[in-house]
Amino acid sequence: MRGVEITGTAQHEAWEARALPPVEQLRADLWSIPVPIPHNPLRYVSVYAFALDGGGIGLLDTGWGSDESWAALTGGLAQLGADVTDVRGALVTHLHHDHLGLAARVREASGAWIAMHPADAGPVGRFSTIGAQGFVDAEVAFLVRLGAPREDAVSDVGPADRYEAFTSMAVPDRLLEDGDHADLPGWRLRAVHTPGHTPGHLCFAEERTGLFFAGDHVLPRISPNISTSPAGAADPLGDFLDSLAAVRDLDPVEVLPAHEWRFRGLDARVDALTAHHEQRLTELLAAVRRHPGSTPWDLAAHLTWSRPWEQYERRMRIFAVTETDAHLRLLGSRGLVRSSDGPVPTWTLALR
């Protein structure tokens, strides 16, 4: 990509070979540990391990909550001469299971603290309260409101037992707001609140080295999913685009994302992501013009995706529909479309 330089060459080569990249020492006191995500096209999350002044290890993200992922995390720590019991604290960029999933197990093994932004910590606590069936019921009702036939919504969401792990993740015991510095001795990791992918997504700007830990906010190849959710932000795509603009000119030495590979050229990548969403907005506006009075469920079928729409089902279809809804809401905030009232709102062009 023009203006973006791949710096994680071993990660990129492993990606091309469809293999797991190696554990890498990035600085004298910093390592990346690839932790696999079972049955997921993203393949792995990069967990970053920091050597701390006075001893011990700090982590940025923890990995998917599975035995396979736990073995990769503990094996990676062993390669750098550490053990999970050496972990003093874990920063979590956001609430998704591939980032938070192992946090409870890390805390149980080491006594480490877990830190997140309050806007993601709150939902994690609610998930544990409502349980898996409550989570399923809320998501089915939300998809029906977006225009899904109930039987399709029930089928796509699936049974409650599929969500037991997602509704029993670690509730953090520390909170980090925008501008706070993480309690990792020897490091100056400043939290940068970047809502969009989730309401409480955090990046971390390391002020001592100039590194930028981007989480899922800015990835080198793909656009992170920006979706609406039952109790989420009113305009997640608007939040995401604002968050992109906020980090564009940081000019870090290197960007260290949670997936794929490390790179330079944050400004160029931000520009490409922004342009991608503007193109999607233009395509969606044209679809609304051609199909007035449609729901997000209907409109998603009229957009361009990575494969034919007929092949979309389950979580892929949910992400596509909720991403379409996020784009509709931003078009609405710009005064270009409007939604009807009622239990299942439909969208038309705004009168001008």
Domain-wise residue ranges, the chain: 5-117+169-275, 123-162, 281-349
Angle among Cα 221, 225, 226 to the nearest 5 degrees reads 130
For 266-334, give the DSSP string.
HHHHHHHHHHHHHHHHHHHHHHHHHSTTB-HHHHHTTS--SS-GGG--HHHHHHHHHHHHHHHHHHHHT
- Quote the pLDDT of residue 291: 97
Burial 165-181 (b: 16+ CB within 10 A, else e): ebbebbbbeebbeeebe
What is the rounded CA–CA span in Å between residue 34 and residue 238?
31
Report whether CATH 3.60.15.10 matches the domain 5-117+169-275: yes
pLDDT of residue 1: 59
For domain 281-349, give its CATH number from 3.40.50.80, 3.90.1260.10, 1.10.10.10, 1.10.760.10: 1.10.10.10
Instruction: Please give the Cα distance from 268 to 321 (Å, whole number).
Output: 28
Q: What is the pTM of this model?
A: 0.95
| The 202-206 sheet, strands edge to edge | 5-6, 263-264, 254-257, 211-215, 202-206, 189-193
Residues of the chain with confidence (pLDDT) below 50? none
Q: Three-class SS of residue 113?
A: strand
CB atoms under 10 Å from CB of 290, counted, come to 10
Separation of alpha carbons 24 and 48, rounded Å? 10
Q: What pLDDT score was predicted for residue 312?
A: 87
Distance of CA 282 to the CA centre of its chain: 24
State the pLDDT at residue 40: 85
CA of 82: how far to CAs of 54, 58, 75, 86, 200, in Å?
Answer: 14, 11, 9, 6, 30
